[in-house]
Structure 1
Amino acid sequence: MAYSMQNFEQLNSKYFEAFWVACETLNFTKTAKIIHITQSAVTQQIKKLETQLQAQLFVRAQKNLYLTPAGKKLRAFIANYLDNVAELVSEIKEQQAALCGKVRYAMPESCLISPHFSQLLQYQQQHLPQVQLQVEVNTLDVIYEKVAHYEIDFGFVTSRYNIQAVEFTSFCEEEYIWIAHGSRKLSAQKILQQPMIAYPGMEVLYEIWCKQKLPSYPAFSQLKIVGKINHLQGVMDMVSSGMGITLIPKHCLQKYHKNLSQICSGKKVMNTIYIITLENLQQTIRVREIINVFLGMH
């Protein structure tokens, strides 16, 4: 339901206190003393509520003050409102407490070059400083095993294994491309003969690319690796200087270098990255929050 400012102006809660205390005392003078305002201010606030509701809330009979039917209805409404406020405050406190603690996740080396993880760190520092991220880099087999035995809360994987205890959530689709300095195009077979700049995790991307492009292919260790750099920026710099080619997710090309080009034509090589969790596990609020941050990046 859509709301406008008029909805909020229909009944102003800042007058509730004066009305509530007046219901208890049935005396505006006593009410004024209890809430530390003047009697005229109490009268004005009650009148404003009556104007907003277009109904009389109190009636005088001789020297006594009584609630009208409209007043009784408003008192019941405020009682329910106060209960809801107390419940809301309690739930938010519980939620904030639940956000405190560790979130454990793992990823393969090939995911290290993704910008998503640096984005998460920035978000966590700004919005979830009470959450402690415990991140590890491991092989796919170990990540699956740790998720299945609940040694970590979730993991990122580049291949989908047939494991019943694990639940898969699609995180993103990545396109893997070979890049070089210049704009020459090479066949898949020719690409594998070129000098290459490698980095941690590239072997995983190589296996995925080859399986979609070639019926048979050499092992990664048999390639002409002329340099291995731990940081993608260094890899890009070496490729940009013409020292070799490399294989990366396409989104990294846009981030790091504009003078590098894709050198393999033909069918795109796509791969799905999954977030895996233990099946039927009720995740904690903080774990769900971190997973949702990742999913919100796409």
Structure 2
Amino acid sequence: MPKTDTILSVKSLRYFLQLIDTMNYTQAAQILGITQPALTQQVKKLEYAIGAPLFGQMGKKLYLTEAGKEMESAAVELLSTINGVISDIQEYTQADKGNISVGVMDTLQADVFYEFLRFFHRKYPEVTFSVDYYDRKELWRRLDTNLIDLAIMYLPDNTKKEETNLRHQYNHHDISSDRLVVLTHKTTVEAGETYPVSRFINRKWIAYPDDFYVTHLMYELFGKKHKPDISMEIASTKEMVQMAEVTDYDTYVTQSYYDIHKDEISLTPIYLQGEHDFHISYVYRKGKLEIPRMENMLKEFEMFLDKRLDSSRLLREVKQK
């Protein structure tokens, strides 16, 4: 076995870099908590393994030789790689450390999820989260390619049938139910009532782009014979509603969005016949359960949702009494 296999250890590289920081054997040894002879011995072993002196001396001052400069760059890179691998392994095997990457559908109000994150962070402060917003197509792509650990999206998603088998490759859990709300200028309807689609076929609409989940729901409601007459597409829900309010056009949002912003909206909310509830759900690849922090987080999320549901049910019962 070559001598470099035993000499180029993490310890020797760390000692070497500490000596570079101080350029003083006594100070470096004190910082490392070892004796000066022990440090000197490690450096000499390293020089013997390399086959060249790493330090020179001018008077009482140390300086790095050309070989030392090359070794410094290599040592920094090697230690960085080793520390990164160790960190990754520790994060992979520990339930209370590491990062979880989450993708959220860009038209979705994820208030319940953020409420859970605040609760979870207080309990597990060393588990960090990266949260980004994507459209439905990009969410599935990132799930399929393992770029995110968890997706918060609407289900059922009929557009995904040909791309993946949700039942076999993924697990999912419902967070809450949602539904489609039409916001209209019509004065012949009453807020909160349900009307046939035929009463809105001749209306003009401001809508989300075609690849948005709720746009597909609108197309399904109108059927193959009719299609919403869309005059403008806007990706931002807030801007879409504001534009509808200053024109004669109708629009549509989710119930969760309307409930939060209803005091800011002047249009009349109604429902269309044939419209059905859909779910805000979290979705993850089944293999993610092998990662302790993911398994722990998902268990905590399920318990959080169960407690939240119990609290809501109790509140309703109290109000009914």
**Helix, strand or coil for the counterpart of 1:105?**
strand
Determine if contact 1:107/1:138 at 8 Å carries over to the other structure.
yes
CA drift at 1:181 = 4.7
State how far apart, in whole Å, the 2-side matches of 1:128 and 1:182 are.
Answer: 50
State how far apart, in whole Å, the 2-side matches of 1:238 and 1:114 are.
Answer: 24
Q: 1:184 to 1:287 in 2, by over 3 A?
A: farther
Q: Does 1:224 align with 2:230?
A: yes
2:216 paired residue number? 207
1:267 paired residue number? 274
Bigger Cα displacement from structure 2, 245-254 vs 146-155: 146-155
Determine if contact 1:181/1:261 at 8 Å carries over to the other structure.
yes
Picking from 158, 172, 178, the partner of 2:176 is 172
CA drift at 1:139 = 4.1
Determine if contact 2:97/2:293 at 8 Å carries over to the other structure.
no
Determine if contact 2:177/2:278 at 8 Å carries over to the other structure.
yes
Q: 1:229 to 1:189 in 2, by over 3 A?
A: same
The alignment-based identity, stated in percent, is 11
Bigger Cα displacement from structure 2, 284-293 vs 207-216: 284-293
Q: 1:131 to 1:199 in 2, by over 3 A?
A: farther
Letter in 1 for 2:126: Q
Superposition TM-score, scaled by structure 2 size: 0.49
Letter in 1 for 2:216: E
**Helix, strand or coil for the counterpart of 1:107?**
strand
1:247 paired residue number? 252
Stretches of 4+ moved more than 6 A in 1?
none
Q: Does 1:150 align with 2:146?
A: yes
Q: 1:274 to 1:181 in 2, by over 3 A?
A: same
CA drift at 1:141 = 4.2
The number of equivalent residue pairs is: 198
Deviations 1:19-56 (A, max 9, x none): xxxxxxxxxxxxxxxxxxxxxxxxxxxxxxxxxxxxxx
Determine if contact 2:208/2:215 at 8 Å carries over to the other structure.
no
Unaligned 5+ runs, structure 2: 1-90, 190-194, 310-321
2:112 paired residue number? 116
**Helix, strand or coil for the counterpart of 2:107?**
helix
2:297 paired residue number? 289
State how far apart, in whole Å, the 2-side matches of 1:226 and 1:142 are.
Answer: 23
Unaligned 5+ runs, structure 1: 1-93
State how far apart, in whole Å, the 2-side matches of 1:208 and 1:292 are.
Answer: 32
Superposition TM-score, scaled by structure 1 size: 0.52
Q: 1:212 to 1:195 in 2, by over 3 A?
A: closer
